[in-house]
Structure 1
Amino acid sequence: MAISPVERELAIRLAAQSWLGAQRAQGVEYWTQRALEEFMFAGEKLPLMDRQRGIRKPAGMAAALSIRTVYRREGAERPYEDGLGVDGLLRYKWRGSDPDHAENRALRSAMTLRLPLIWFYGFAEGLYAANYPVYLLAEEQEHQQFVVALGEDQRMVDVGQEADPAIRAYVERMTRQRLHQPAFRAGVMRAYTSKCAICSFRHANLLDAAHITADAHAEGDPVTSNGLALCKIHHGAYDENILGIRPDLTVHVREDILGEIDGPMLRYGIQEHHNRALMVVPTSQRDRPDAVRLKRRYEAFLAAH
């Protein structure tokens, strides 16, 4: 039985998300323009990103399939600056100021048909992390923007309504985390070549992009220099102040932990790293751990005990 055009568009989107998810399961953290041209549907190539435009609507489709935010160095202005509304949800600016621009019509169709999109977010020149599913919930024409839900649960938020402060704070926190975390993780994994900074463990699915300054902190920017690639054991130990990292990039294991007797994980995984330099450090100076952030975090580690 033939499927409707809307059903076909939904099938394409779900297949694209599944394709990206399968690569993530194999340790792929980010994509290039060329890599995103390899997606196939029904035996034909269907690029997920447009070479020239920020909004991708393939020929024959009624609605936008993906949106893109290009990389800008820290402090550089973006051509379109998106922000949060009183409801804690993200806003995505129109293309230009003409509501009838083809790209704005493509976004409007995705909103009207309630179709999920993929958001490709640039974290380095020519490299993109992926956020999905993303939905457009409403259009605020007076502000030339769309209201965005990052994930299925955010579709339940009352658009434009100022929520209870605690609820709004939660929605805002989740919005910022979902927008920036994939790009932050991709940047950290790339800088550390998908290896733990402390022990060089290299299975990406068991690595975390750990913040030096917590993301909830005012200075917890989602930039690579505020991150460390750590395996889950060492990330947990870092967050629980079992070990710290000095500004000179050496590991400091807590004194009481050094005196414990346990199994091989404690001995070889924690204790033997005391006073040793990090095994993996980014080659790019811009990506190396920020010395000021490290110093503050190390001082907090010392003060905790």
Structure 2
Amino acid sequence: MESAPSATLRARVFEILTTTLPTGAIADRDDLLGFKVEGVSLPLIDYSRGIRNPAALEATLSVVSSADGPYSDEQIRPGIWRYDFRAGGAGGDNKKLIEAHRLGVPIILFRKLKPKVYQAIYPARVAHVDLDAGHVLVSLEELADIADHAPSAVERHWAEYVAKRRVHQPAFRGMVLRAYETQCTVCRFKHAELLDAAHITADSADAGDAVVTNGMAMCKIHHAAYDRNFLGVTPDYEIKINASLLAEVDGPMLKHGLQEMHDLRIQLPARRSEQPNRERLALRYSEFTAC
């Protein structure tokens, strides 16, 4: 069992996180390094390592999984990541990582989405230690029991659902809203609480990747209109409104919220690499014109 001082500090970290950085949310590196508990600095990530072992805690606080890092960290199943030991076998930084497994304490998994941008996932657990292979399996807490065995069809379906809801959807929304500077691409509405990340290729499709170029930030009214083909976006980034809707006479929401958007251009992300993929837009627009 974790000692009382260590357990109390760990619990306080997670308590603060739930109000400042909800699980699945996106954070900048500087914010993670500047984290404080009762005014005392307690960085959530290490300055130069992928594992964070504060001296005041008996076991690891967080690990960073990065697709472009020096190790081969990867999501081996939905919601379950392999995290390679640092050099040194079962000693050094890895000692506290192994201890996190023995004690069964919650940790934070940070997914490095791009330089200096991370997604926080917690509570996670070190669900399995493989000393011979030199790695651990880090799992979403709900999936810890299936981390070290071949999952059944029911378990696999459940894991996919949990990972999508807690990991991939929040990351997709966070990265898309960042790219569009937290504003609707159609009407420039800026309140994050009422903004969505609209998929161009549906996330249920095989090609429905959760990447920024497959998304556009939209307020809820324009997202709903886009999904139902009342509103379309051409490969040249022009907004089109369904012809029957253009001819309809109704109140100010229809007139100003939809009809007046016809033939305008969407607001694009500043970075070209984050702008909507034109081929995806063309396929999606063909669905719109067919209606």
| Coarse TM-score class (shorter-chain normalised) | 0.7 to 0.9
> Does the aligned pair in 2 maintain the 1:90–1:149 contact within 8 Å?
yes
Residues 172 and 212, structure 2, Cα contact 8 Å, conserved in 1 = yes
Contact 2:125 2:138 in 1 (8 A): yes
Does structure 2 conserve the Cα–Cα contact (< 8 Å) formed by 1:91 and 1:145?
Answer: no
Residue identity opposite 1:15 in structure 2: E
Q: Greater strand share, 1 or 2?
A: 2
What is aligned with 1:287? 274
Change (3 A) 1:36 1:196: same
Using structure 2 for the length normalisation, give the TM-score: 0.86
Paired residue secondary structure (1:195): coil
Cα displacement (A) at 1:83? 2.9
Instruction: Report the Cα distance in structure 1 between the residues aligned to 2:236 and 2:42, rounded to whole angstroms.
Output: 48
How does 1:126-137 map onto structure 2 within 5 Å? 126-137=116-127
- 1:13 touches 1:117 (CA, 8 Å); kept in 2? no
Kindly state the Cα deviation for residue 126 of structure 1 after the two structures are TM-superposed.
Answer: 1.6
**Alpha-carbon distance change, 101 to 266 in structure 1, aligned in 2, over 3 angstroms:** farther
Residues paired across the two proteins, number: 288
Contact 1:30 1:127 (C-alpha < 8 Å) held by counterparts:
yes
Do the aligned residues in 1 keep the contact of 2:80 with 2:147 (CA within 8 Å)? no
8 Å Cα contact 2:6/2:56 also seen in 1:
no
Is the counterpart of residue 301 in structure 1 residue 267 in structure 2?
Answer: no
Matches within 5 A, 1:175-194: 175-176=163-164, 178-194=166-182
Specify which of 51, 63, 67 is matched with residue 63 of structure 2: 67
Paired residue for 1:42? 38
Is this contact kept in 1: 2:21–2:27, CA < 8 A? Answer: no
Distance 1:116 1:223, change over 3 A: same
TM-score, normalisation: structure 1: 0.83
Tell me the secondary structure at the aligned position of residue 69 of structure 1: strand
Equivalents in 1 of 2:131, 2:215: separation in Å? 38
Corresponding residue of 2:73: 81
Q: Which runs of 5+ in 2 are unaligned?
A: none
Alignment partner of 1:239 is 2:239: no
| Alignment-derived partner of residue 116 in structure 1 | 106
Q: Which residue of 2 aligns with 1:17?
A: 17
Residue aligning to 2:149: 160
Q: Distance in 2 between matches of 1:118 and 1:241?
A: 40
Question: Deviation of residue 190 (structure 1)?
Answer: 1.9
1:8 positional shift: 1.5
What CA distance in whole angstroms lies between the structure 2 residues aligned with 1:78 and 1:11? 31
Closer/same/farther in 2, CA of residues 93 and 176 from structure 1, 3 Å limit: farther
The code of the aligned residue for 1:172 comes to E
Q: 1:81 to 1:46 in 2, by over 3 A?
A: closer
Aligned-residue CA RMSD (Å): 2.6
Q: Tell me which stretches of 4 or more aligned residues in structure 1 moved more than 6 Å.
A: none
Question: Per the alignment, do residues 102 and 34 of structure 1 end up closer, same or farther by CA in structure 2, a change over 3 Å counting?
Answer: same
Q: How many Å separate the matches in 1 of 2:27 and 2:171?
A: 11
Matched to 1:43, the amino acid is: G
What is the rounded CA distance, in whole Å, between the counterparts of 1:246 and 1:172 in structure 2? 32
Amino acid at match of 2:92: A
State the distance in 2 between where 1:104 and 1:61 align: 14
CA contact (8 A) 2:179 2:274 kept: yes
Change over 3 Å in CA distance of 1:197–1:64 after alignment to 2: same
Q: Which of 3, 14, 28 pairs up with 1:32?
A: 28
